[in-house]
Amino acid sequence: MLDCRELAKRLLKAEENHKAVSCITEKNPEFDIAMGYQVQNELVQLKKDQGHKILAYKMGITSQAKMKQMNINEPIYGYIFDYMNVPDEGELVIEDFIHPKVEAEIAFILGEDVEGPNMTMEEVLSKTEWVLPALEIIDSRYTDFVFKLPDVVADNTSAARVVFGKRRFRPNEYELDAIGVTMFTNGELRADGVSAAVLGNPANSVAVLANMLSHDGKGKIAKGSIILSGGITEAIMVNKGDSVTANYDGMGSVSFQVR
Ligand code: OOG
Ligand code: MG
- According to the model, what pLDDT value does residue 213 have? 98
Bridge-based pairing state of the strands 159-164 and 180-185: unpaired
Q: How far is the CA of 136 from the centre of ligand 2 (A)?
A: 5
Query: What is the tens place of the pLDDT at every residue in 96-105?
Result: 999 999 999 9
CB proximity list for 156: less than 8 A, separation 6 or greater: 11, 40, 43, 44, 78, 79
Q: How far is the CA of 158 from the centre of ligand 2 (A)?
A: 8
List beta partners, residue 77.
59
Mean pLDDT of 84-109: 98
- According to the model, what pLDDT value does residue 71 have? 85
- According to the model, what pLDDT value does residue 171 have? 95
Identify which ligand lies nearest to the alpha carbon of 135: 2
Q: Evaluate if residue 70 carries a pLDDT over 90.
A: no
Whether the CB of 233 sits within 6 Å of ligand 1: no
Query: What is the tens place of the pLDDT at every residue in 6-55?
Result: 999 999 999 999 999 999 999 999 999 999 999 999 999 999 999 999 99
The rounded radius of gyration (Å) of the Cα atoms in the chain is 17
**Average pLDDT over the chain, rounded to whole?**
97
Q: Evaluate if residue 235 carries a pLDDT over 90.
A: yes
- First-to-last alpha carbon distance for the chain, in angstroms, is 43
- What 243-247 contacts at long range (C-beta under 8 Å, 24+ apart), as own/partner pairs, is 243/185, 243/186, 243/187, 244/102, 244/135, 244/183, 244/184, 244/185, 245/183, 245/184, 246/104, 246/133, 246/135, 246/181, 246/182, 246/183, 246/184, 247/181, 247/182, 247/184
Whether the CB of 158 sits within 6 Å of ligand 1: yes
Whether the CB of 136 sits within 6 Å of ligand 1: yes
Nearest residue (by CA) to ligand 1, atom 9, is 70
Q: Evaluate if residue 78 carries a pLDDT over 90.
A: yes
